[in-house]
Structure 1
Amino acid sequence: MLKGKASIKGKPSFTSPPLIEKTPPRCPPMVDIKSADDLIPYLDEVAKRPYNHGLHAGWDLQPGERVLLRVDNWHDPMVIEACKKILEKYNTNYEVKMVDKGPIIRWKGHDEVDYYLARTKELAEWMDEWEKMEEEGEYDKLLWGYGGPVLRDTNIKIQRMPFITPELTATPAHTIPYEIIDAIDKWTWNKIRHAKRIRIQDPEGTDLSYTNHDEYYDSKREFYNPDLVERFWKGNKSFGKTYLPGHVLGRPWLYHPKEDATGVIAGTTNHIGPVPWIQLEVDKGKITQINEGGEFGEKLRKLKSETDHLKYPGFPDEGLFRWWEASIGTNPHIHRPRQGFLNGWLNCLYERMRSGVIHIGFGTIISSSAEREAAKMGLPVGHWHVHLYFPTMTAEMMDGSTETIIKDGHLLALDDPGVRDIAAQFGDPDILLSESWIPAVPGLNMEGDYWKHYANDPEDWVMTELNICEHYHPLFMKMVGADPKHCNNPLWHTANVADACSCGHHH
């Protein structure tokens, strides 16, 4: 049952915006792209980046390599053309697999419930298809998808294809030197794996604490426990034994009987889009109550009631609604799409990779052997999300000290002297390690009433925000109190436009 508003503990209430001075909004300018050739400098950097199994686009293209580029009709044709050009430039033997996904969908945030019930099946089919391609040996590398696990215990290499539109391609997220984002990943992973207990808080209402059990890890806490990896990632153990670049795991993608996470998860966004404020109550890792959330909340409550009695492989007890994910984005230059937002692939999935953003996941562990086993048993499988844009993550470390890993949405790896020394080899660390995008949330980090202007219908505000940022960038930056230096960030500079930012304005 949906609780009345007055009975819900932990609902945000602010007398003034708590982050207006600490974490003011900012939005990068739109880069003016007129042709596929304008995208080549960005893809050229991706082509040279070393391969990784994570979410950082790194294609490591080699002459003569047999490459399959998998795209669909939701990708912008200009981007597909640019990808072909870069594959030709590096003398690969490539093929393009074009998939017809049907009409481009205009999303609502509550669509995540239905989408991920179906998406999980699609990802399992991808795994099967990749295994077949591995056996057939026709390709050396697949450029395919931009989310979810990939096979790693194979000769064939699978890398991401996150380039949906020119806007999501022409960004310093893909030109920042790999050495920098690799250092950010490693800093974050080292903090997590040496943490004994972790607490995540967020001004939208999340307050969740959990033990980072010794049993999750091997004896050196270098990798995850091989017995648990075998249970949850059979056939893909190289993937399951460690962190995911660009998507560092704040909690292992595993279960064991001692799960003790307790608290609440709350927010206004999932992978698909904004949703009315929702709160999930958690006890010993299990979602026990879902409060508010509009239609998203209604769909989750219905699914929960239908699955609470079911036994899932690898789960400590009955029920589908179990928390398993608190993944941390690590790229400071990821931003929310503006052009075409909430259409097709242009949803909130991409933005989860921005440094300091945590996305919470609950349900079955995506593409794990346990999830695939559950699907074969005919059980409903899938997982769902709540995004945290201003989280603070603190940890009690193994040596007894307390460390802050994220503060108000700012990943502290960006301030680490070692990371900054690496960045200094390539440019100004203050520029390379500053977030390009911080969402504007009325009542949190800008003027306004959190409930009246945002949390009851966040999509309405977000669409307005993105429209102004896209078409009236200088005005937007002034309206939300952003420091103008972020508008003139040279990483977003467009060639041949003297003394102007990428939006073409002088300000």
Structure 2
Amino acid sequence: MTKPSAAALVAAVAISYAAACGRGDTAQPARAAIQYPEPRYPSYLKPPASIDEVLPHVRPLVRNKIGFQGAGLGVAQPGDTVTFVLGPDAEDLIVQAVKTAMEERGVRVNLVHEYEMVGISREDALEYRRIRRSYTSEQGYMEAATWVEANFPEPEPVKAWLRERRPDLADTLFPKSRELTPRLREVHEKLLWPNLGKGIQAYLKQHADVRGIFWGKGGGTFLRRNLHPMEDRFLGLFVVDNRWDVMSALGTYPGDVWQLAEDQTMEPLVHVDKLTVTDPEGTNVWADINEEQATHWARGVYQRGHLYMFPNQATGRFGYSVVGYPAFQKEWLPREPLAVMHGTLAGTVNHTGFFPRWEVHFTDTGYVGEVKGGGVVGDALREFMQLPHINDLAYPFHSEAHKGYWYLYEVAFGTHPKAFRNFAGLDEGTAIPERLRSGVIHWGLGITLHHDPGVQTQSQQLLDFTAKYNLPRDHGFHTHTYFSTYRVHLRSADRWVTLIDNGRLTSLDNAEVRALASRYGDPDRLLAEDWRPEIPGINAPGSYAADYAPNPWRTVKLVIDKVLAGHYEHFYPPAAAAAARQTGH
């Protein structure tokens, strides 16, 4: 496929915009400039002071059977006993409120912290957390440090290699203040997912009365895999452990509406032969998709709230069953033929936080060829692209034509219109919650394999290969984009379909989705995004190049301060914002 011309892309955006707004006249002239959706932040996130204030928000939530990357709390039936496995940042008031609401339904709830599952004292767990979480999302470059420490079988030689080449960069990513004592290294090892999984399995064997657990805030595939052979007792994530998420509309969004919108988004994929993605921050990528790739992609695309919208992430694994979710299907989906992305990926946000704008340029073979900008995280990526063996070995289930690690792996859609940028998460150094919002795309570089053929557990071939050469076991170096237009071309119909239009998941405007949503109230309100980022030069006054791209955190911090003070100009919905100001919240 040749690169689409700029004129063709502008025309395509104009046509898809007209279609989304219900205007069928394709002869209508393109607008002089695209108007991106205005900023928003939920106006109803007031801090609770008691369990009684929280309960009205969590009672609907504990009845919802559909949740992110698993089932919702509502799958627990009266008479069941379940366990909430709590992370280090869980807020006691909120957790107790959720527990109370579950027990009102006749469900018994045990509360067990992760550190208890692996025999760590609370004091050691808190000390470990203090040292390792010594940064906020202002330091988005720390995703590079996490990539090393979490993905390499032996991280220390990688750190030493970097320190020899770039001691300044090594000091920034791995400062002495984050070094662990021998005792805390043991804590670190015990808190890794494989060991947590073993600890939880031991707990479940000792507590046969517990139907299952709610655990974690993301990575449902990894969590389930680490519970093997007890993965059927992983009921879902436990994300509602803080006031931001609980007081939001995350848990009250109707599950059947959510499911239908995802179904509509996935429906065309088996027929796709091309895809293109553009974004006002500079992303402009495209890929050809053959019939075999499209077939595998369509079978492996599904994960609730996190659709795998590029074939590479949907393969090298058993796909999730849409009907029996979160069960896996019985067919292993091969990675080859590998999908190849061309063009440029650009952005300023990753899973950890914010950084100066970067551009990641893909070669004709789909490999990362050049990285421009990005500040410290850009420097880190440019260095790690030179790691020994990372470019000259083919990973398991990859052909010799596709040697190396630095391919595009992840293009994932968020699908929930009520997800938002959680300020508590930013304070802890994670921007992950925002990626769940409908229309937000998060991108990831690298390679991973979830399963080997015939075995629905961690790929042993991947583990053996990466241990032999000390190479990364998973992808990383993410980018979030917010106002993208994602289009697919249908092979048989010879027409383009827009799945995201300027940041709007178009299935939310589908007539069937709106009709179903109308059963719960005003579909315009129910299907509206309650959060959109404020980006100068794109959807807010100012210059993107001068006011945002060099230092995105500056804008983000201004928004945080206004929201917390109750004076943000873009609270949504406005009526709730006015009420909040009158009550002093």
Q: If the TM-score is normalised by the length of the shorter chain, which range does it land in?
A: 0.7 to 0.9
Match of 1:259 in 2: 339
Q: Does residue 157 in structure 1 map to residue 250 in structure 2?
A: no
Deviates more, 1:99-108 or 1:354-363: 99-108
Match of 1:430 in 2: 524
What are the superposed Cα offsets for residues 41-97 of structure 1, whole Å, 9 maximum, x if unpaired? 333223212255726755422123231211133222222222322332233343222
Q: Does residue 331 in structure 1 map to residue 331 in structure 2?
A: no
Match of 1:249 in 2: none
Match of 2:212 in 1: 141
Question: Sequence identity, in percent?
Answer: 22
Q: Does residue 185 in structure 1 map to residue 265 in structure 2?
A: no
Match of 2:371 in 1: 290
Match of 2:308 in 1: none
- Tell me the amino acid that sits aligned with residue 143 of structure 1: F
Match of 2:129 in 1: 102
Match of 1:450 in 2: 544
Q: Do the aligned partners of 2:266 and 2:301 also contact (CA within 8 Å) in 1?
A: no
Deviates more, 1:263-272 or 1:90-99: 90-99
Structure 2 SS opposite 1:84: helix
Q: CA deviation at 1:296?
A: 0.7
* Change over 3 Å in CA distance of 1:59–1:311 after alignment to 2: farther
Q: CA deviation at 1:414?
A: 1.5
Q: CA deviation at 1:315?
A: 3.5
Structure 2 SS opposite 1:422: helix
Please list every run of 5 or more consecutive structure 2 residues that lacks an aligned counterpart in the other structure: 1-31, 116-124, 153-191, 303-311, 327-331, 452-457
Q: CA deviation at 1:209?
A: 1.0
Q: Do the aligned partners of 1:329 and 1:356 also contact (CA within 8 Å) in 2?
A: yes
Match of 1:203 in 2: 280
Q: CA deviation at 1:193?
A: 3.9
Q: CA deviation at 1:24?
A: 1.2
Match of 1:352 in 2: 435
Q: Does residue 400 in structure 1 map to residue 494 in structure 2?
A: yes
Q: Do the aligned partners of 2:409 and 2:444 also contact (CA within 8 Å) in 1?
A: yes
Structure 1 SS opposite 2:292: helix
Deviates more, 1:216-225 or 1:264-273: 216-225
Match of 1:166 in 2: 243
Q: Does residue 342 in structure 1 map to residue 429 in structure 2?
A: no
Q: Does residue 305 in structure 1 map to residue 386 in structure 2?
A: yes
- Tell me the amino acid that sits aligned with residue 81 of structure 2: R
Match of 1:389 in 2: 482
C-alpha distance in structure 2 between counterparts of 1:375 and 1:135, whole Å: 32
Q: Do the aligned partners of 1:322 and 1:362 also contact (CA within 8 Å) in 2?
A: yes
What are the superposed Cα offsets for residues 242-265 of structure 1, whole Å, 9 maximum, x if unpaired? 69999xxxxx99631343211111
C-alpha distance in structure 1 between counterparts of 2:239 and 2:151, whole Å: 19
C-alpha distance in structure 2 between counterparts of 1:410 and 1:25, whole Å: 13
Structure 2 SS opposite 1:181: helix
C-alpha distance in structure 1 between counterparts of 2:279 and 2:382, whole Å: 23
Structure 2 SS opposite 1:200: strand
* Map 1:454-469 → 2, pairs under 5 A: 454-469=548-563
Match of 2:169 in 1: none
Which one has a bigger Cα radius of gyration? 2
RMSD across aligned C-alpha pairs, in angstroms?
3.4
More helix by share: 2
C-alpha distance in structure 1 between counterparts of 2:314 and 2:543, whole Å: 49
Deviates more, 1:381-390 or 1:352-361: 381-390
Structure 1 SS opposite 2:575: coil
Q: CA deviation at 1:128?
A: 5.4
Match of 2:354 in 1: 274
Q: CA deviation at 1:137?
A: 7.5
Q: CA deviation at 1:349?
A: 0.0
C-alpha distance in structure 2 between counterparts of 1:504 and 1:119, whole Å: 47
Q: CA deviation at 1:382?
A: 3.1
* Change over 3 Å in CA distance of 1:145–1:224 after alignment to 2: closer
Q: Do the aligned partners of 1:390 and 1:410 also contact (CA within 8 Å) in 2?
A: yes
* Change over 3 Å in CA distance of 1:28–1:18 after alignment to 2: farther
From 488, 503, 513, the equivalent of 1:419 is 513
Deviates more, 1:108-117 or 1:185-194: 185-194
Match of 1:13 in 2: none
- Tell me the amino acid that sits aligned with residue 398 of structure 2: F
Match of 1:501 in 2: 579
Q: Do the aligned partners of 1:359 and 1:386 also contact (CA within 8 Å) in 2?
A: yes
C-alpha distance in structure 1 between counterparts of 2:473 and 2:349, whole Å: 21
Match of 1:487 in 2: 574
Q: Do the aligned partners of 1:140 and 1:155 also contact (CA within 8 Å) in 2?
A: no
Q: Do the aligned partners of 2:213 and 2:234 also contact (CA within 8 Å) in 1?
A: yes
Q: CA deviation at 1:359?
A: 0.4
Match of 1:10 in 2: none
Q: Do the aligned partners of 2:297 and 2:315 also contact (CA within 8 Å) in 1?
A: no
Q: Return the TM-score normalized by structure 2.
A: 0.71
Structure 1 SS opposite 2:85: strand
* Change over 3 Å in CA distance of 1:472–1:53 after alignment to 2: closer
* Change over 3 Å in CA distance of 1:129–1:405 after alignment to 2: farther
* Change over 3 Å in CA distance of 1:267–1:358 after alignment to 2: same
Q: Do the aligned partners of 1:64 and 1:92 also contact (CA within 8 Å) in 2?
A: yes
From 55, 60, 68, the equivalent of 1:40 is 55
- Tell me the amino acid that sits aligned with residue 396 of structure 2: P
Deviates more, 1:204-213 or 1:435-444: 204-213
C-alpha distance in structure 2 between counterparts of 1:179 and 1:144, whole Å: 23
- Tell me the amino acid that sits aligned with residue 457 of structure 1: N
Q: CA deviation at 1:123?
A: 3.9
Q: Return the TM-score normalized by structure 1.
A: 0.81
Match of 1:87 in 2: 102
Q: Do the aligned partners of 1:57 and 1:162 also contact (CA within 8 Å) in 2?
A: no
How many residues end up aligned between the 2 structures?
A: 461
Match of 2:24 in 1: none
Q: Do the aligned partners of 1:208 and 1:265 also contact (CA within 8 Å) in 2?
A: yes
Q: CA deviation at 1:168?
A: 1.8
Q: Do the aligned partners of 1:68 and 1:142 also contact (CA within 8 Å) in 2?
A: yes
Deviates more, 1:373-382 or 1:398-407: 373-382
Q: Do the aligned partners of 2:285 and 2:342 also contact (CA within 8 Å) in 1?
A: yes
Q: CA deviation at 1:213?
A: 3.5
Match of 1:9 in 2: none
Q: Do the aligned partners of 1:51 and 1:159 also contact (CA within 8 Å) in 2?
A: no
Q: Do the aligned partners of 1:140 and 1:156 also contact (CA within 8 Å) in 2?
A: yes
- Tell me the amino acid that sits aligned with residue 393 of structure 1: Y
Q: CA deviation at 1:287?
A: 1.6
* Change over 3 Å in CA distance of 1:230–1:409 after alignment to 2: closer
Q: Do the aligned partners of 1:189 and 1:243 also contact (CA within 8 Å) in 2?
A: no
- Tell me the amino acid that sits aligned with residue 205 of structure 1: G
Structure 2 SS opposite 1:488: helix
* Change over 3 Å in CA distance of 1:156–1:506 after alignment to 2: closer
* Change over 3 Å in CA distance of 1:156–1:55 after alignment to 2: closer
Q: CA deviation at 1:280?
A: 0.8
Q: CA deviation at 1:421?
A: 0.1
What are the superposed Cα offsets for residues 290-346 of structure 1, whole Å, 9 maximum, x if unpaired? 1110001111122221122344223343322221111111111111123x45222x6
Match of 1:7 in 2: none
* Map 1:16-55 → 2, pairs under 5 A: 21-29=35-43, 30-51=45-66, 54=69
From 406, 409, 413, the equivalent of 1:321 is 406
Structure 2 SS opposite 1:324: strand
